[in-house]
A and B are shown apart, each in its own frame.
Chain A
Amino acid sequence: MRYLARRFAFYLITAWAALTLNFLIPRLMPGDPAQALLSRFRGRLDPRATEALTAMFGLNNESMWSQYRTYLADLGKGDFGLSFTFFPTPVGTVIMDSLWWTIVLVGIATVVSFVVGTLLGIVAGWKRGSRWDQLLPITTFFSSIPYFWFGLIVLFVLSGELRLFPLSGGYSSWLSVDFSWAFLSSAFKHAILPGLTIVIASIAGWLIPMRNMMVTTMSDDYVVLAEAKGLAPRRVMLNYAARNAILPSVATFTMSLGFVVGGAVLTEIVFGYPGIGNNLYQAVINEDFPLMQGIFLIITFVVLLANFLADLVYVWLDPRTRVEA
């Protein structure tokens, strides 16, 4: 699988680039943010935290290179440092507690949005020039709405005024996190609004490219030939036009996912969802640099993983990538 091997190598490089970026940002930022933070918190911070921070941001006069080696070695051991918002909980633990919430919420919302958006795009492309074209401006409008603004309005109307959904959080606070029916149904209820916000705001990102690709593909010879063969329109639409038109959508999954993740971070904050986006917000507000950096890395790694999954789907969909060369 040369194609997959190449992609995998690329993700390794990207992961390394993200690690290095993460290392360099605090060190190259103007104004020496870590030093500023230390002086601001002087005396109020646990000495161990001060020490950890000093080491982490290279304020102990070690050379850049040896700092970099220590940094990589620590990460290799899964050591992201200590969060000082939740001191002395390690960053890794804080992240792990919230990561699953995000993966489930954003994962399901993305899949739903992709499936619905792509299906609508197929139909809109197939029936172009019909009333289905109205979908374009409507969904574009929703996709231009800031996630957080839309989320807040939805929250205010449906939860605040109509009391249909819970106001915030990921589950009712009196429940314990387990696989009981009570917990799962509560978690589901809490996830509906943030999930819906993500779906509505991101659907145009799948629908419009799919529709345009359908329109383009429909003029291709093999679609014309399929029609000449007297196949049922549904088969021409799905097996010939859509089956090929979907390929670019899967190939550019990367970019679309980037937007969804960005929007999801804001959505979580608005809905007080116990996910990683909310953690990031807490970290930034409290200038909890270790947590902030850890979250950035984890989000990047999860996105890389999702992209690799998209590549697997691509290989499955397009036999041309399976050429052994």
Chain B
Amino acid sequence: MSAEAIADAVPTAQPGPKASTRSRFAGLRSAKTMTGLVMFGVFVLAGAFGPLVWRKDPSALSNDILQPPSGAHWFGTTQTGQDILAQVLVGTRVSLLVGVTAAVLATVLSLLVGLTAGYVGGLTDELFSALANVFLVIPALPLVVVLAGYLPTRGSLTVAVVISLTGWSWGARILRAQTLSIRRRDFVEAARATGERPIRIILFEILPNEFAIVASSFLFTIVFAILTQAGLAFLGLSDVTTWSWGGILYWAQNNQALQSGAWWWFVPPGLCIAVIGMALALINFGIDEFVNPRLRVQKLGPKRARRMPMAKSRPLPASRRTDVVLEVTDLHVNYGEGPDAVKAVDGVDLVLRRGEVLGIAGESGSGKSTLAYAITRLLRPPGEVVSGSIHYWPRGEEPVDVLRMSADELRAFRWAELAIVFQSAMNSLNPVLTLRVQMADALTAHRPGTTSQQRDARVVEVMTMVGLPADRADAYPHELSGGMRQRALIAMALVLEPDVLVLDEPTTALDVVVQRQILNQIMALREQLGFAVVFITHDLSLLIEVADRIAIMYAGRVIETGSASELYRSPQHPYSDGLLRSFPHLHGPRKVLTGIPGTPPDLRIIAPGCPFQPRCGQAIAACTTTMPLLLATTEGHQVACLLTQPRSSDDDEL
């Protein structure tokens, strides 16, 4: 599911603060993060209060030599009778302090370098980036070992400083990239334009947006520092008379703890390091999910092409007319489940006849793109078809319900019978494969018998059809212009001669001239090859020109449908009427569906009555309570508006 499609289904206009906070922090409240936080908390408490509660001197010698864990010594004793639990508790304190100190220092360094480089740009950026990259490439541990080798004193603080000097560069690199991208956003540009001081912009506009990344690299550095300190101490390169986890291991190893069977001496410090590392990594998983919402969605496997349960199957639709190629009946698509579910498509019926162009118009948030994804069964969770049917009529055969196909049937059906062209040509092409490979693999999948010469010939054939020079077959997507990429996608869609072509805003990203050329080409090819087109766009005036019939969607429903000429001549729904009246005339400047005051409805707010009511200039009292149904007014023309429908006598005009 593309980001656009999700945005299309779940309008972002004035989201309720409660809903948005809940979903924004969902990643941070996952079980993983919670477990990590609790584990980390236990260590912090143990380091802070442990030595106060377990009041044994970690260095005190005694006669209990190499005792296994017992009531008196929970973790046993060392070769000189020291209490290991006491050592581990003090060690927790020391190791955490070194880790946090090093992480604080490294984070400060990386913030200084990363923010300055990203914000100032230019030569400063070049120099700072080079510095960070150099430190990133020089292997850290050998450098720390060399530095520590020269140190006259190797106290914990010195070690922390040395570690921070080698551990700042990764954070700096990420922060620089992030700052660079935030700096170009509107609110920062605005602040700069009003002459705000750079330091204020950095602190109040940029930094808050980098909180998650800073936190993540901070936690990461703690682990790095604890591991490095343990390594140094284990090698005897840091002060081993202070008890740290690494220091305990140093003594255990030098006294052959494992070989003499004293596992209780050797195991706990290492386990502590591993567990704290894991705790911080778990918290970082949560932060990752927070930063990258795509990671958040659960249960998103290749099973996503889920089949509708057989039990829900409905009888075949009534229309058995032979010229129908695709029929959508009472389709419902939800995003999410249960009471929070958003009804992105809410009971849509559509009929597509062979060779015709069916236009679907709507603003973003109307559910039109979701509909396209549902027809092709490409919806990804949380989007899900809840009910309805999508029947496809193969030539001269019985209809099949796309929603109830098995995985194999679906694979065979896709592209061979129904192909789709997405909005963004750049994002739809695999950037690392040539056009030839991307077109030929559809042939290989659907016509396994073909030779590579036959496939090549077909690739060249479709490319010529859409006006692409055949020598571009070996080009990579980035080597093509925007218009050429869009042509390539269309060529790709035609490679198997499908019966139905779904175009999801196929030309919006292009300039008007190229747009026009490509549309003409598609329409010419349709004449020639006879496929039917479902054309989804927000550009109603374009549809009036090219479509045979048009369905206008609002809030997940079709609110008016009829032939293009009928709709142009006499639109009956106030929404369609408003749209059309905002166009000067057919061939005048193009207008998009924003000519109506107000914003698209928030589908999360479920109100009775007509969804268009808040923006409708002709609303009557009943509109707030009665949901208008899509009913025929004349032959082939249906409208969902109370004004065109017989109403009960007690309604008053407003």
Contacts and interface: CB of A to CB of B under 8 A. Distances in A.
Q: Do A and B come from one complex?
A: yes
B150 interface: yes
A222 B227 contact: no
Contacts of A226: 430
B392 to A, nearest CB: 14
Contact of B277 (A143, A160, A266, A319): A143
Interface stretch (A11-19, A87-95, A174-182, A188-196): A11-19
Contact of B432 (A13, A219, A299, A318): A318
Q: Tell me the interface secondary structure of chain B in the complex.
A: helix
Interface string B61-81: 000000000000000000000
Given A13-B134, A129-B299, A317-B432, A144 B274 contact: yes
A14 B133 CA distance: 8
Interface stretch (B312-320, B410-418, B538-546, B628-636): B410-418
Interface string B538-560: 00000000000000000000000
A269 B253 contact: no
A113 B282 CA distance: 22
A262 B259 contact: no
Contacts of B301: 126-130
Contact of A215 (B270, B281, B295): B295
A128 B298 CA distance: 7
B7 interface: no
A215 B294 contact: yes
A307 B492 CA distance: 38
A10 interface: yes
A131 to B, nearest CB: 11
Interface residues of A, number: 94
A36 to B, nearest CB: 7
Nearest to B273: A146
Interface in B238-297: 246, 249, 253, 258-259, 266-267, 269-270, 273-278, 281-282, 285, 288, 292, 294-295
Interface stretch (A44-52, A60-68, A77-85, A277-285): A277-285
Contact of A244 (B295, B428, B430): B430
A230 B441 contact: no
B442 A146 contact: no
B581 interface: no
Nearest to A11: B137
B139 A303 contact: yes
A162 interface: no
A144 B415 contact: no
B368 interface: no
Contacts of B278: 137, 140-141, 144
B111 interface: no
A17 B274 contact: no
A212 interface: yes
Interface in B296-340: 298-302, 305
B2 interface: yes
B126 to A, nearest CB: 11
Interface in B393-440: 410-416, 419-420, 422, 424, 427-433
Interface in A210-235: 212, 215-216, 218-222, 224-233, 235
Contacts of A129: 298-301
Given A229-B414, A235-B445, A244-B430, A146 B270 contact: yes
A265 B432 contact: no
B170 interface: yes
A226 B139 CA distance: 40
Contacts of A221: 2, 422, 424, 427-428
Nearest to A287: B149
Interface string A231-248: 111010101100110010
A8 to B, nearest CB: 13
Contacts of B492: 229
Interface string A10-44: 11011001100110011001110100100000000
Interface stretch (B40-48, B117-125, B183-191, B228-236): B228-236
B331 to A, nearest CB: 18
Contact of B415 (A137, A152, A230, A265): A230
B142 A262 contact: yes
A186 interface: no
B427 A220 contact: yes
B457 interface: no
Contacts of B419: 228-229
B46 to A, nearest CB: 17
Nearest to B292: A216
Contacts of A225: 420, 422, 428-429
B285 A136 contact: yes
Interface in A268-300: 269, 280-281, 283-285, 287, 289, 292-293, 295-296, 299-300
Interface string A193-211: 0000000000000000000
B561 interface: no
Nearest to B135: A17
Nearest to B276: A144
Contact of A292 (B134, B141, B146, B275): B146
Given A144-B273, A146-B227, A240 B411 contact: no
B429 A222 contact: yes
Nearest to B149: A284
Contacts of A86: none
A229 B133 contact: no
Contact of B137 (A150, A307, A319, A323): A307
A261 interface: yes
Nearest to A226: B430
Contacts of B146: 22, 25, 284, 292-293, 296
A304 interface: yes
A255 interface: yes
A13 B230 CA distance: 32
A18 B427 CA distance: 41
B234 A254 contact: no
Contacts of A144: 223, 227, 273-278, 281
Contact of B412 (A160, A230, A317): A230
B427 A239 contact: no
Contact of A233 (B32, B147, B302): B302
A100 interface: no
A231 B288 CA distance: 31
Given A212-B292, A261-B142, A222 B427 contact: yes
A246 B295 CA distance: 16
A320 interface: yes
B143 interface: yes
Given A226-B430, A299-B139, A300-B138, A284 B235 contact: yes
Contacts of A243: 430, 432-433
B302 A126 contact: yes
Given A300-B139, A303-B137, A152 B300 contact: no
Nearest to B267: A153
A319 B478 contact: yes
Contact of A229 (B2, B170, B234, B415): B415
A232 to B, nearest CB: 6
B380 interface: yes
A33 B285 CA distance: 43
Contacts of A261: 139, 141-142
Contact of B2 (A141, A224, A292, A317): A224
B430 A222 contact: yes
Interface of B: 1-3, 32, 130, 133-134, 136-143, 145-153, 170, 223, 227-228, 230-231, 234-237, 246, 249, 253, 258-259, 266-267, 269-270, 273-278, 281-282, 285, 288, 292, 294-295, 298-302, 305, 376, 378, 380, 410-416, 419-420, 422, 424, 427-433, 441-442, 445-446, 476, 478-479, 492
8 contacts: A17-B138, A18-B138, A137-B278, A212-B292, A215-B295, A221-B428, A233-B302, A296-B142
Given A147-B231, A229-B441, A239-B430, 5 more contacts: A29-B152, A137-B278, A145-B274, A230-B414, A235-B445
Which 6 pairs, one residue from A and one from B, show the smallest C-beta to C-beta distance?
A144-B277, A262-B141, A149-B270, A31-B152, A230-B414, A129-B299
